[in-house]
Structures are given as C-alpha cells and as structure tokens.
Amino acid sequence: GGKDKIDALGRLLTRVLRHMATELRLNMRGDGFVKVADLLNLNLRTSANVQLKSHNVDEIREAVRRDNKQRFSLVEEDGELLIRANQGHSITTVESEKLLKPIMSPEEAPVCVHGTYRKNLESILASGLKRMNRLHVHFSCGLPTDGEVISGMRRDVNVLIFLDIKKALEDGIAFYISDNKVILTEGIDGVVPVDY
C-alpha cells in the first residue's frame, strides 16, 4: 500500500543522503543538504520497486514526517526545498562543524550511551569504540527503557556502553549533537579509547 511505498522511500533517502551522494554525483553541501529537486532526478528504485523520479515532493515530505527517529531535516532556502540526513553519514562531503552542534559541557549530555551487541564486546574492550564505516561513533542521550523512540542506537542492541563524556571532553575530545539528539564524535582518529 501507500504506507509501504513511503517507508521504502524513507529507507532509500537514508541510504542516498548518508552514504551514496558522492558516487551518485549528487551536489551536497558541507552541512549535508541537497536539493530535493536533484534527489527526485536520480535514476534509482526504492525497495517497493518505485522509481525515485515517479515520487513527488509531497511524498518526500511525508517520508520525512513519518520517520520515527527524525532522521531527516527539510528546509526552504531561496524558494528551494533542501533535505539532509541529520546523522549517520559515511560520505566525507559533510563536515561535523556544519552538520552538527558542538557539545560545550557535560551537562548538555547527562547520559551518553552506545548500543551494541555481545559479539562486538571483546573487540571493543580491546581496541575502543571505532566509527567503522561512518564519520562518527554514535551515542544516544537516553535509554530505550525511557519509553520514547531513541535515536542513535538500534532497537535490538543487547549491550549498553556508558561513556564518561565529562572525562573525554576534559581530555579535548570533541562531541557534537545532531538535530535528532544523537551524540557524535570522531574520537581520536576515529576511536573512542577504552579509558572513557
């Protein structure tokens, strides 16, 4: 039905805006925004087998609205509609300082927790939290048990790693918060050491 098509559109938007802009030669700004018009011109199909070209602006708006983790931002500038993913990027076109807001004090992030899986734990405890394919290591500012949908970790994680963000900030590691309240860091060369 229509819902499934919109969900499939949302999943494709996530992939394109976080990971594929460069290879698709999509014109993306340092703050991650691209023109919706450019996006709708791409020769891609959603998992519902719908051509991106046969979707329209209203359906993009609906996909953004329906996204439970508020993964996207839409803005209008100079009469043009722009869209971005709020976090989760692997493409290096985006710049942390332009996409995200710096965290200045630990009070801005009283809880900072990374969700992962038991199979990763031994490796994490040996080598720290790595950003892997993304630009940042991701943390949530709350727990799934807080009741709300939490951005920054998956629903099925079975290990929670709490970060001493106060200590990390004191040691000069930069942290940022996205529009959908995910806490992000490049750590030290992509790694948050075990010390924290």
User: Binding ligand HQG by CB under 6 A: which of 98, 101, 154, 167?
Assistant: 154
* Beta bridge partners of residue 113, listed in sequence order: 140, 162
User: Which residue, 55 or 131, is less far from ligand HQG as judged by CB?
Assistant: 131
* Residue 10 engages ligand HQG in binding (rule: CB under 6 A): no
User: Which residue, 53 or 101, is less far from ligand HQG as judged by CB?
Assistant: 101
Residues of this chain, 125-144, that bind ligand HQG according to CB under 6 A: 127-130, 132-134, 138
Kindly write down the DSSP assignment for every residue of 119-170, as one continuous string: HHHHHHHHH-EE-TTSSSEEEESS-GGGSSPPTTS-TT--EEEE--HHHHHH
Using DSSP, state whether 28 is helix, strand or coil: coil
Whether 163 and 192 have beta carbons less than 8 Å apart is answered as yes
CA atoms in the 13 A half-sphere facing the CB of 55:
32
User: Nearest approach, Cβ of 96 to ligand HQG (angstroms)?
Assistant: 15
Q: Please choose, from the candidates 46, 57, 172, 183, the residue with its C-alpha nearest in 3D space to the C-alpha of residue 111.
A: 183
Residues of this chain, 82-101, that bind ligand HQG according to CB under 6 A: 88
Whether 43 and 52 have beta carbons less than 8 Å apart is answered as yes
User: Nearest approach, Cβ of 89 to ligand HQG (angstroms)?
Assistant: 10
Residues of this chain, 163-192, that bind ligand HQG according to CB under 6 A: 182
* Residue 32 engages ligand HQG in binding (rule: CB under 6 A): no
| Binding footprint of ligand HQG, residue count (CB under 6 A) | 21
User: Binding ligand HQG by CB under 6 A: which of 120, 144, 173, 188?
Assistant: 120
CA torsion through residues 145, 149, 150, 152, sign: positive
Residue burial 28-52, b: 16+ Cβ < 10 Å; e: rest: beebbbbbbebbbebeeebeeebeb
* Residue 81 engages ligand HQG in binding (rule: CB under 6 A): no
* Residue 66 engages ligand HQG in binding (rule: CB under 6 A): no
* Residue 20 engages ligand HQG in binding (rule: CB under 6 A): no
User: Under the rule (CB under 6 A), what is the footprint of ligand HQG?
Assistant: 69, 71, 88, 116-117, 120, 123-124, 127-130, 132-134, 138, 151-154, 182
